[in-house]
Amino acid sequence: MLKFVIPAIIFFLVALFWEKINEKIYQKFKIKINLIIVMAAILFLLAVSILLYF
């Protein structure tokens, strides 16, 4: 039961405080976290599609 509840709570908190997290990371590293997530998602989909093709 805990292995479902804890990730759900973490996901909820990240979604709730996304703007504050994004702002802190932008101030520290001068890069938008949205770009990193989009690139990671594209790489993940590309890797899955390559693995499914071969």
Q: How confident is the model at residue 45 (pLDDT cuts 50, 70, 90)?
A: very high
CA–CA dist 10, 19 (Å, integer): 15
Determine the Cα–Cα distance for residues 4 and 33; give it in Å rounded to an integer: 26
Task: Retrieve residue 35's tokens.
Answer: 């770009």
pLDDT in tens, 6-43: 889 988 998 899 889 888 888 888 877 777 888 888 99
Tell me the residue type at 5. Answer: V
Whether residue 47 has pLDDT greater than 90:
yes
- Identify the domain containing residue 24 by its residue range: 2-53
pLDDT grade for 44, boundaries at 50, 70 and 90: very high
Q: What is the pLDDT of residue 43?
A: 92
Instruction: Name the domain count of the chain.
Output: 1
